[in-house]
Copies of this chain bind each other. A is one copy, B any other.
Amino acid sequence: MTSLSEPRLYETIHRRRDVRAQFTGDPIPTEALERVLGAAHAAPSVGLSQPWDFIVVQDRAIRQAFHDHVQAERSVFAASLEGARAALFRDIKVEGVLDSTLSVVVTYDAERGSPDVLGRHAIADAGLYSVCLAIENLWLAATAEGLGVGWASFYREDFVAELIGLPRGIRPVAWLCLGPVSHLEPRPDLERYGWRSRMALADVVHHDRW
C-alpha cells in the first residue's frame, strides 16, 4: 500500500516553505480550505483531547491591525541586532498578512478534556505539543493544495487574544497566513538571505545516548 504513496508525501514535506513574498491574494476554494482544516483536525493529540481551535480570519480590518502590530514587533527585534546581522535583517520580509488570502489563527485550550487528560499528568506542555502537530498537518495539506503558509510570529499573545476575542484561558499558538502562491522557493528564505544555513541530518542524529 505504501510504496506508491511515499514519494508524494515526501515531495510535499520537502517542497513545503514558510512563505512571505509569494502570495497572490487569489481566492481559496471552499472545499480546499475544508480539506486543509480537516487535515489539521485529524492530528494526534494527547489523550485524544483535540485541544485546538481554528479561527479563519478574512476581515481586512483585523488583518490590518495584526499587520501593524507585527511591523512594530519587527522594529523591536531589529533594535536588538548589531552590525552585519542588523544589515541582513533589514531586507528580510517577516510576514505576508495582507498579501495572503486569509489568516488562520490556531489556539490551545488547556481545559478541553480536563481534568483527566490521559498522558498529560507528568508533562504540562503535552497539550501544546498536540496543537503544533495539527499545525504541521495543516501546512502540508495546504502545500499539497498548491497553497502557501507563512507563520507570522512577531507578535504578543495578549494582543492577538484581544484582537480576535479569545476567551480567557485560550492561548494563541500560531498566526498562519494562507493562500495561493506564485511559486514555492526551492530554498528557505533565511538560507537565501544568508541568515542561517540548514544543518546536515547527521549533525542532529544520535544513537542510544546523546
Contacts and interface: CB of A to CB of B under 8 A. Distances in A.
B48 A141 contact: no
B116 A80 contact: yes
Copies of the protein in its oligomer: 2
Contact of A135 (B18, B129, B146): B129
Contact of A208 (B5, B39, B155, B164): B164
A23 interface: no
Q: What band does the interface of chain A fall in when counting residues whose beta carbon is under 8 Å from B?
A: 35 or more
B141 A9 contact: yes
A72 to B, nearest CB: 10
Interface of A: 1-2, 4-6, 8-14, 16, 18, 34-35, 37-39, 41-44, 46-50, 52-59, 62, 73, 76-77, 80-81, 85, 89, 92, 94, 107, 113, 116, 118-123, 125-126, 128-129, 132-133, 135-137, 139-141, 144-146, 151, 153-157, 164-167, 170, 173-174, 188, 190-191, 195-199, 201, 204-210
